[in-house]
Chains A and B, each alone.
Chain A
Amino acid sequence: MGLSDDRARPEVPPATPDTAPPESVFTTNLNKMVRWARSGSLWPLPFGTACCAIEFMSVVSSHYDLARFGAEVVRFSPRQSDMMIVAGTVVDKQAPILKLIYEQMSSPKWVISMGVCASSGGFYRAYHVMQGIDEIIPVDVYVPGCPPTPEGLIYAILKLQEKIERGDPSHYQIVAEREAAEARKQQLVGA
């Protein structure tokens, strides 16, 4: 069907204030509108290091179809994405790389820690693995499981959407504000 094929469309007279049905108008405020738009168009950045990333692939593929929730535009550049999904084990050697990529994302940004390795180190209670990525970056939603089921990750994204629509600050904002307050306090104490 091309753009020129408009023969099948019914004739609709242009809406005027008199003819417009009352349901087609609603009032809101800009913040709510923006939050609604953000929650429905999360662009994920997969930071996949282990088997959780395989599960993430199935979440964005046709069967589980993350597109239904508006979060299917997977970007592999931190500049273009606002939801980082850390899927897999993060070792100490990888930690500064994770932090660098997280810092390259533009705000507002959210982080989902997928699976027990990213959340707590999982069964790697050892010399080489970070015991949870929240040691270095703020996390908004943790997903348990080894690996989590696709439904588990979808549920986490729905929870994140709820959080965004409610207008709750991302953990990133909370940390940034806490650090700013701390800096102000230090300034006052210093002065």
Chain B
Amino acid sequence: MAEYIAENLRRRFGDALERVSDERGDLTVWIDRARVHELLEHCKRDPELDFCFCMDVTAVDYLPLGGSPRFAVVYHLYSLRTGNRVRVKAGVPENDPVMPTAVDVWKSTDWFEREVYDMFGIRFEGHPNMKRILCHKDFQGHALRKDYPADLRWKLASPDDLLDEISSDEMQRIRSRVSHPISE
């Protein structure tokens, strides 16, 4: 049903698509990470594809399978107009775990990319605020890596700053709106 998506991407990216699979209607394309940003941009802007909605960004650690490269970053895209989906995967090697950010394409990827960084240690270059989102500031390592011991904990002594990403202008606006001013 979604052959036109694979066709469209093949026409544009040709051999840069490492693999295209259509397992029971779930289209997955593998792309070289050097061109993943271009592909995502194309998926959103191309009027035929029109993937306006990035539903999730996550990652996979292929360590137990001995995969090379070790990680893959996965984007799940959805088109509200056509109702079609596509899964975009890009391999990331262990010794250079860096990806280009997609925040400039879909703003929603901001927190997804922070989560991937927090859990897998893959940094997103160009991200406006590349820091942990779920684990606290004293946490070391990345919990969803397969070589992380499942019950290894890091204790936090003082509360983490949860408002640091709100700019001072925004904070001013929030303060002016509440009747009980938030303490400094």
Contact = CB atoms under 8 A, between A and B. Distances in A.
Interface string A58-100: 0000000000000000000000000000000000110111001
Given A127-B143, A128-B135, A128-B143, A95 B155 contact: yes
Interface in A87-128: 92-93, 95-97, 100, 125-128
B178 interface: no
Contacts of A92: 136, 139, 153-156
B83 interface: no
B143 A96 contact: no
Given A92-B136, A93-B135, A127 B158 contact: no
Interface in B157-174: 157-160
Contacts of B148: 127
A125 B160 CA distance: 22
B156 A95 contact: yes
Contacts of B151: 125-127
| Majority secondary structure of chain B interface residues (helix, strand, loop or mixed) | loop
Contacts, number: 37
Contacts of B160: 93, 96
Contacts of B156: 92-93, 95-96
A125 B152 CA distance: 9
Nearest to B142: A127
Nearest to B157: A96
B150 A100 contact: no
Contacts of B152: 127
A96 B153 contact: no
Contacts of B135: 93, 127-128
Contact of A127 (B150, B157, B159): B150
Q: Which of A96, A125, A127, A128 has the most CB atoms of chain B within a 10 A radius of its CB?
A: A127
Contact of B158 (A96, A125, A128, A131): A96
Nearest to B151: A125
A126 B150 contact: yes
Nearest to B148: A127
A120 to B, nearest CB: 13
Contacts of A125: 150-151
Interface of B: 134-136, 139, 143, 148-160
18 contacts: A93-B134, A93-B136, A93-B156, A93-B160, A95-B155, A96-B157, A96-B159, A96-B160, A125-B150, A126-B151, A127-B135, A127-B143, A127-B149, A127-B150, A127-B151, A127-B152, A127-B153, A128-B143
